[in-house]
């Protein structure tokens, strides 16, 4: 949520300030700085379409991961869920984080700025550390079952990472 708020403030706050200062001093900003996609001169509008596709895929991963976790782990009446290894979890251990990475990457293809690139890098590092911490907790809860699952399932990208 903090990333989205920072993104919105940067996207609308900084460009608006630049526009106001430009108007005050009598110069014009490049076309699209307030409403468009900053990489259009380098990757064209296809970058925007690819970004939307990547973001929507990320949303699907978040929803799919949440649904599977809610169904198999959180909603158990006896208070104990089982280790989730089906659905999207058959391919990756952290689909919701991967989805969030994809959503924000898609946003960056639409509106890339230096602060946003720095924040995205920080986001990747922090969520990686959070995932590692969660895995320690899950390993304590499920023991060898989780260790075996970890050996055959990648963390964020199927068959790669």
119 vs 2: which has the higher pLDDT = 119
End-to-end, the C-alpha distance of the chain in Å comes to 25
Task: For residue range 11-29, list pLDDT tens digits in order.
Answer: 555 566 666 666 677 766 6
User: What pLDDT, on the 0 to 100 scale, is given for residue 153?
Assistant: 95
User: What pLDDT, on the 0 to 100 scale, is given for residue 2?
Assistant: 67
Tally Cβ neighbours within 10 Å of residue 68.
Answer: 19
User: What pLDDT, on the 0 to 100 scale, is given for residue 70?
Assistant: 85
Mean pLDDT of 136-142: 92
Task: For residue range 71-127, list pLDDT tens digits in order.
Answer: 888 766 666 678 899 999 999 999 999 999 999 999 888 777 666 777 889 999 999
Q: Which two tokens stand for residue 48?
A: 């925007």
8 Å CB contact between 98 and 53: no
User: What pLDDT, on the 0 to 100 scale, is given for residue 139?
Assistant: 94
DSSP β-bridge partners for residue 60: none
Mean pLDDT of the chain: 81
Helix (H), strand (E) at residue 119: helix 114-142
Does the pLDDT of residue 128 top 70, yes or no? yes
pLDDT band at 136 (very low <50, low <70, confident <90, very high): very high
């Amino acid at each position: 949520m903090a990333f989205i708020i920072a993104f919105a403030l940067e996207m609308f706050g900084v460009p608006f300030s630049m526009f106001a200062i430009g108007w005050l001093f009598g110069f014009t900003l490049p076309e699209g700085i307030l409403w468009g996609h900053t990489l259009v001169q380098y990757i064209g509008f296809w970058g925007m379409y690819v970004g939307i596709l990547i973001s929507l895929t990320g949303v699907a991963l978040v929803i799919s991961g949440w649904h599977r976790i809610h169904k198999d782990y959180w909603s158990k009446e006896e208070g104990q869920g089982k280790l989730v290894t089906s659905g999207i979890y058959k391919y990756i251990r952290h689909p919701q984080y991967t989805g969030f990475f994809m959503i924000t990457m898609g946003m960056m293809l639409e509106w890339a700025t230096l602060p946003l690139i720095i924040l995205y890098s920080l986001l990747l590092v922090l969520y990686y550390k959070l995932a590692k911490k969660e895995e320690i907790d899950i390993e304590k809860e499920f023991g060898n079952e989780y260790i075996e699952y970890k050996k055959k399932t990648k963390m964020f990208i199927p068959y790669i990472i």
